[in-house]
Amino acid sequence: MKTNRINSENYNTLNHCKFLIQYHIIWCPKFRFSVLGENVESVLKEVLYTIGEKYEFEIKELEVMPDHIHMFVSTKPTVAPTDVIRTFKSISAIEVFKRLPRLKRFYSRCGSLWSKGYFVSSVGKVSEETVKRYIQEQKSKS
């Protein structure tokens, strides 16, 4: 019987598990105000990278725009994407408000830095069509 081997260099490993879990995540400040300017951006990036390290979320790419954030994150398969987003948003809001009291005053009426919504999309190394074709061809390879 022929077996297909996974190219190990592209994947992470846990006990009895090879995986590649990556997400493109976008979220905005409350009311999509353009409040993430230069000094906020540097503090926010530092905070987000610290959160990533602590929770073992690998930030592969990060860009802070004046009114939204883009992240490309790799994580373990045991962590739901909503948990990744909740962790980044909740802790970053607390830390940014601590470090930038004027931003906290600006948002004092609504009490939160981030809007409730977000965008998340899984990102892989292969396309949907490649996966479908791979699965369809399995019986013919055995």
With respect to residue 81, please indicate whether it lies within any of the assigned structural domains.
Answer: yes
Domain residue limits at 79: 8-141
With respect to residue 1, please indicate whether it lies within any of the assigned structural domains.
Answer: no
> Would the CA dihedral through 56, 57, 62, 65 be positive or negative?
negative
Task: Kindly give the parts of the chain with pLDDT less than 50.
Answer: 1-6
What is the C-alpha to C-alpha distance for residues 106 and 118, in angstroms, rounded to an integer?
A: 22
For the packed helices 38-55 and 81-99, what is the interaxial angle rounded to 10 degrees?
A: 130
pLDDT of residue 3: 36
With respect to residue 87, please indicate whether it lies within any of the assigned structural domains.
Answer: yes
| pLDDT tens track for 94-107 | 999 999 999 999 99
pLDDT of residue 6: 47
Tell me which residue of 61, 74, 71 sits closest to 28, measured CA to CA. Answer: 71
With respect to residue 3, please indicate whether it lies within any of the assigned structural domains.
Answer: no
With respect to residue 2, please indicate whether it lies within any of the assigned structural domains.
Answer: no
- Using DSSP's 3-state secondary structure scheme, residue 113 falls into coil
With respect to residue 127, please indicate whether it lies within any of the assigned structural domains.
Answer: yes
With respect to residue 37, please indicate whether it lies within any of the assigned structural domains.
Answer: yes
Q: What's the pTM value of the predicted model, to 2 decimals?
A: 0.85
pLDDT of residue 2: 34
Quick one: tokens of 72? 């490309």
CA geometry: angle 111, 117, 121, nearest 5 deg: 145
CATH of the domain at 30: 3.30.70.1290
pLDDT of residue 114: 97
Q: Are strands 21-27 and 69-75 parallel, antiparallel or unpaired?
A: antiparallel
